[in-house]
Amino acid sequence: MEEEEERTQKLHKTKKKKKQQEEEEEEDHTEMSSRSSLHSLPPTTTTINSPPDSPTVSSIPDSHGSSPHTIIPTPSVASSIPVKNETPFRVEEKVSESRRQLRPSFSSTNTRDTKLGNLVRRCLVGFRVCAFLSCLVSFSVMVSDRDKGWARDSFYKYKEFRFCLAANVIGFVYSAFMICDLVYLLSTSIRRSKHNLRHFLEFGLDQMIAYLLASASTSASIRVDDWLSNWGADKFPDLARASVSLSFVSFVSFAFCSLASGYALCSLRSI
């Protein structure tokens, strides 16, 4: 009997030792798994605030056969989620804002262009009206210069005077047409022809009429000086000289009109 009791006690002891060894091995295994899981997580610079780690319950029986609850801390899932770094986007936004500040705003350039266009348009209207009136008075005085003074001479006997008369008539008709066009533009703010060929035509016609008036006025003034040197002072050359001086005024007006049309040609804008 005593031998059987000793054998049973030895068996119990060996069983307890085996259980203790198994418990230690399981504890070591769980610790190693938790450490490996912690080492396997990616390094993060910034993490989202998360609640405390949730404990894991493991039922491991002790030597008395009971199963106490052992709490092993495990890393939370929310703490392992990396947060995206938003600094590149912020840098790109700052660079784009700096580029926008360096670039001139389209609204400011448009307002400047509109103000300059309005100023040039008003000046052009004034020069057109001046050229219209000077051409009208010039050819009217030249037509009235017939059978004047003691010589009873007439303008149609001299080709220089006829040339000056024709040039002023052409400038008068062209100025009247352009004044009507400008009045229509100012009243409706709509261009009849938006093709770029219009700018070339305006600039070319202004230049041609300006040079035509310059040559006609120069030749007529030379004819007046020659007549005065041969016959002396009279009412006929005085009227011719007045007509020639007004023709020079119309030439200056068309020269300024050609500058305005040249601006419209370079900027390709209706004025």
Note the pLDDT tens digit of each residue in 2-12: 677 777 777 77
> How far apart (Å, rounded) are the C-alpha atoms in residues 210 and 256?
9
Give pairs for 251-255: CB < 8 Å, separation 24+: 251/210, 251/213, 251/214, 251/217, 253/127, 253/128, 253/130, 253/131, 253/134, 254/127, 254/131, 254/171, 254/206, 254/209, 254/210, 254/213, 255/210
Percent of the chain residues topping a pLDDT of 70: 65
Looking at per-residue pLDDT, the higher value among 17 and 200 belongs to 200
Alpha helix stretches (DSSP H) within the chain? 2-40, 87-102, 106-144, 159-188, 197-231, 235-267
Looking at per-residue pLDDT, the higher value among 105 and 200 belongs to 200
- 3-class secondary structure, 60: coil
Give the number of other CB atoms < 10 A from CB of residue 143: 14
> How far apart (Å, rounded) are the C-alpha atoms in residues 254 and 271?
16
| pLDDT one-digit tens code per residue, 158-199 | 999 999 999 999 999 999 999 988 888 777 765 544 557 778
Residue 240 · residue 155 · CB < 8 Å: yes
145 pLDDT exceeds 50?
yes
Please give the DSSP secondary-structure letter assigned to residue 73: -
- 3-class secondary structure, 206: helix
Percent of the chain residues topping a pLDDT of 90: 32
